[in-house]
Chains A and B, each alone.
Chain A
C-alpha cells in the first residue's frame, strides 16, 4: 500500500499563474477529499468526491478554484489565476467507501507558495 500520493511536494509560482495539484488515492478507496491548511484558518475542507462525483464543493473559495476526478485513481485541484492568499498546504485524503466512518488516509501535502 503506497498510501495517498500527492505531487508536487512543493510549488512556488507567481501571482496570476495557473497551478495544478495532483492526487492519487489509495487503490480501492472511492471517497476523495481536498483540504487546505493555513495558520489562520486551520484545516478547511474544499471539496469531496464519492465514486468520482463531487458531493460537496461548498468549501471551494471562489471560481478560481476547480477540482476534477476523471477516474478512480486520479484527482486534480486547479487554481487559475493564483493569488498570494492561496499560499497554503493542500492535502488530499481518501477513504474506503464501505463506511462513512472509515478513517481518512492523508497524503503528505503540497506546499504552495504564490509570490
Chain B
C-alpha cells in the first residue's frame, strides 16, 4: 500500500531564510510525487511534481523539491522564504505499480514565515 509521511506538524522560519518541508513516502513501484499548498478557506493548489528525470524539480512561486530514491524522500525547499508563503503544505504520492490514479496525501505541514 502506498503511504506518505510529513514528520513535522509545523515549520517556523524567518523571512529571507531558506525553508525545507520534509516528506517521505512508501510505495511498491515507482513513486510519482506531488506538492500542494492550501491557503485558509481554500482548496489545495498544485505546486510541483516529480515523475521522472532530474531529481531536482522546480515549481510555482520559487519552490523546488528534491527526489531522493535511497532515502525515499521528496523534501520541499525554497531559498528565501516570504511571509506570503505561510500556508499548509501537503505532500502526495501515487504508486506507479498501480493501474489506478489514486493519490494519497500526507497529514500536512503548517509553514509559518515570520517577518
Contact = CB atoms under 8 A, between A and B. Distances in A.
Given A45-B104, A56-B100, A91 B44 contact: yes
Contacts of B105: 35, 42-43, 45
B107 A42 contact: yes
Given A42-B106, A48-B101, A56-B100, A101 B44 contact: no
Nearest to B52: A101
A103 B46 contact: yes
A32 to B, nearest CB: 11
Interface residues of B, number: 22
Interface in B34-53: 34, 36, 41-46, 49, 51
A109 B88 CA distance: 15
- Assign chain A's interface to a size class: 20 to 34
Contacts of A103: 34, 46, 49
A95 interface: yes
A45 B95 CA distance: 15
Contact of B102 (A4, A56, A107, A108): A56
Given A42-B106, A107-B43, 7 more contacts: A42-B105, A45-B104, A55-B100, A100-B100, A100-B101, A101-B51, A109-B43
25 contacts: A33-B103, A42-B105, A42-B107, A43-B90, A43-B105, A43-B107, A45-B102, A45-B103, A45-B105, A48-B101, A55-B102, A56-B100, A56-B102, A91-B43, A93-B44, A100-B32, A100-B101, A101-B51, A103-B49, A104-B44, A104-B46, A108-B41, A108-B43, A109-B41, A109-B43
